[in-house]
Amino acid sequence: MIYEEVFLIARIVLFFIATPFIYKALQAVDLSKSFKVNSSDQIRFIFMVISIILGYLFVDALVSLFENMNGLL
């Protein structure tokens, strides 16, 4: 049985690892056609917000899976 603090630390560490990778992956999407000219700051801000949300959801799903597996032991 693994303590719950380990899962909390894993959530935090994995969040800060996964979020930059998701941000880099989102940069492959071309949103410049949807925005006005010279609005790169707004596009970057949207990418940051989306990458934080997706990073949290990805890490939460992954760590929840391990927590459930730990509960079966």
* pLDDT: which is higher, 35 or 18: 18
Mean pLDDT within 40-52: 92
Indicate if the pLDDT at residue 22 is higher than 90: yes
**Contacts of residue 40, Cβ cutoff 8 Å, sequence gap at least 6:** 32
What CA dihedral angle connects 14, 18, 19 and 23, to 10 degrees? 180
CA distance 15 to 22: 10
CA distance 32 to 14: 30
Provide the percentage of residues in the chain whose pLDDT is more than 90.
Answer: 64
